[in-house]
Amino acid sequence: MKLIISAQNPTIESPVDTRFGRSQWLILVDADTKQWKAFQNPGVSQSGGAGVAAAQFVVDQNAEVVISGDFGPNAARAFQSAKIEMRLFLKQALTVEEAVDLYNSNKLLKFS
C-alpha cells in the first residue's frame, strides 16, 4: 500500500506537517516495507492553488492513501475523484513513521 504523508523534513523520522497543500515535504512510504522517498511539495511555492498542485502530485504518484492534518476543499475534491483515501493523524502522530504505524493498525480517522 502506497501512502503519502505531509512532513516538515525530508525523512521518515521527520515531524509530520499538519498542513497538506503548504507542507514542505511529501513522503511516499510503502506501508508494508516502510521503504520511503521524500519529495518537495510542488504546492509550497505556489501563490494560489497549493492544495490542487499538491493533490495532482499525489495522484501522479499513484498513491492509494494520503495522510495529513487536514485537507482543503479543492484537494479533497481531487482525492475523492481519484478515489484516494484521505486519513487524518490529528494529534496522535508526531513523526511520519508513527503515522505509518497508526495507519497499519487502523487508528487513523477517515477524512469525510
Partner 1 sequence: MQIAVASGKGGTGKTTIATSLALSLAKLAKVRYFDCDVEAPNGHIFLKPVFDQISPAVILIPQIQPEKCTACGHCVEVCQFHALAKVGKTILVFPQLCHGCGSCTWNCPENAIIEVPNPIGTLERGMARENIAFLRGQLTISEPMATPIIRQLKKMEQPSEEFVDIFDAPPGASCSVVETLQGVDFALLVTEPTPFGLHDLKQMIGIVRDMNIPAGLVINRDGIGDDSLEELIQEEKLPILLRVPFNRLLAEKLAAGQSLVDVMPEYREVLVKLYQEIREIVGGSDK
By the rule CB under 8 A, 104 interacts with partner 1: no
The answer to whether residue 49 forms part of the interface with partner 1 (CB under 8 A) is yes
> CB of 43 within 8 A of CB of 51?
yes
The CA distance from 71 to 77, in Å, is 9
Characterize the bridge pairing of strands 25-30 and 2-7.
antiparallel
Q: Which stretch binds partner 1 (CB under 8 A): 12-20, 29-37, 52-60, 98-106?
A: 52-60
Q: Name which of residues 5 to 34 contact partner 1 (CB under 8 A).
A: none
Site for partner 1 in 54-93 (CB under 8 A): 55-56, 59, 74, 77-78, 81-82
Site of grid cell 494520503: 66
